[in-house]
Amino acid sequence: MRNDPQLLLNTPDIEIWPGGLLRARSNHNARLLAQASHVLRRKCDGRYLAAQLPRGLMPLITRLPEAPGIEHALSVLDAHLSQPARIPPPQGELPLHHLQHCLDHLGLDSADYAAQTGLWLIPEPAHLVLAGFDRYRRPLWLTRPAARSWQRMRDAAAASGIAMDAISGYRSHDYQLGIFERKLARGLSVSEILTVNAAPGFSEHHGGNALDISAPGEPPAEESFEHTEAFTWLQQHAGDYGFHMSYPRGNPYGIVYEPWHWCWIGIS
């Protein structure tokens, strides 16, 4: 049986987390999560659906077989557990058809939005690796090459006396929709939100290669980051590790200046 504690398996509706990384919401769940090798977590609301235990699968909701996407998620988990640990999981991306409900909810047409902004649809990866933890001690998920490059870049900066921390990495399409829903509840319009956040499906964070970076003591995702030593170091050295700043001033996508947002594109 395979047990890879640092791999997030991804499906359109459900994420399959390795055990030991998710916070329990009750004493009962805490006991189960402490024993679980994997936990199935619904993407739209973060609810835990089931835990894979040594004795078998333990449902964490009633009527688990009726949960959307559960059969597919269980087949992905079964295939992963039966794969020898020495064989890496296959690369791949999730289909985009699940994204449409997010855009419909916001009244957005993907083709129109792409034409207006120059942004493009970004599928979610079929799996991501643990790249450490962010400032808030949350697991930081990235693609394997982006994770390696981030760790090398952070260590190189530290060797030069520059401290950097990650604010966020991979975000699902559903997570991006949640950002919009929270801001809509505060009274912002969709058009106002789109000046700061890309529409679901169009954020570089979906692909698992983008990072929001900050420095200790610096507020997250603020323009003031450009005045830090960490930002100066990134400008000089990030390209050596395959990272570039996606949204400089005057970028053609209509996104505000984001000196904190860096994306791994590889080294040419």
The whole-number pLDDT of residue 29 equals 79
Res 5: pLDDT = 52
Same domain, 153 and 105: yes
Q: Which of 24, 52, 82 is the last residue of a domain?
A: 82
Q: What is the pLDDT of residue 28?
A: 76
Query: 162 and 37 share a domain?
Result: no
| Same domain flag for 196 and 135 | yes
Note whether residue 31 is domain-resident.
yes
Domain-located, residue 89: no
Establish if 175 belongs to a structural domain: yes
- 63 and 186 co-located in one domain: no
How many domains, in total, are found in the chain? Answer: 2
Q: Which of 56, 82, 108 is the last residue of a domain?
A: 82
The beta strands (E) that lie in 177-233 are given as 210-214
Q: Are residues 76 and 129 in the same domain?
A: no
Q: What is the pLDDT of residue 1?
A: 44
- Whether residues 27 and 156 share a domain: the answer is no
pLDDT of res. 83: 83
Domain of 197 in residue numbering reads as 98-264
User: How confident is the model at residue 231, as a pLDDT?
Assistant: 98
Together in a domain, 207 and 163: yes
Same domain? 109 vs 185: yes
Long-range contacts of 71-80 (CB under 8 A, 24+ apart): 72/11, 72/12, 72/13, 72/14, 73/11, 73/13, 73/14, 73/16, 73/40, 74/40, 76/9, 76/11, 76/16, 77/9, 77/16, 77/38, 77/40, 77/52, 80/2, 80/4, 80/7, 80/9, 80/16
Distance CA 186, CA 208 (A): 28
Residues 78 and 113 in one domain: no
Q: In the prediction, which pLDDT does 39 show?
A: 96
pTM: 0.93
In terms of domains, do 117 and 35 share one? no
pLDDT per 10-residue tile (average), the chain, 268 residues: 72 94 80 91 94 95 96 96 76 88 92 94 96 96 96 98 97 94 96 90 97 96 97 98 96 91 92
> Do residues 76 and 117 both lie within one domain?
no
pLDDT at 33: 87
Please answer whether residues 141 and 154 qualify as being in contact, where contact means their C-beta atoms are separated by less than 8 angstroms: no
- Looking at residue 254, its pLDDT comes to 82
Instruction: Indicate whether 87 belongs to any domain.
Output: no
What is the model's pLDDT at position 4? 55
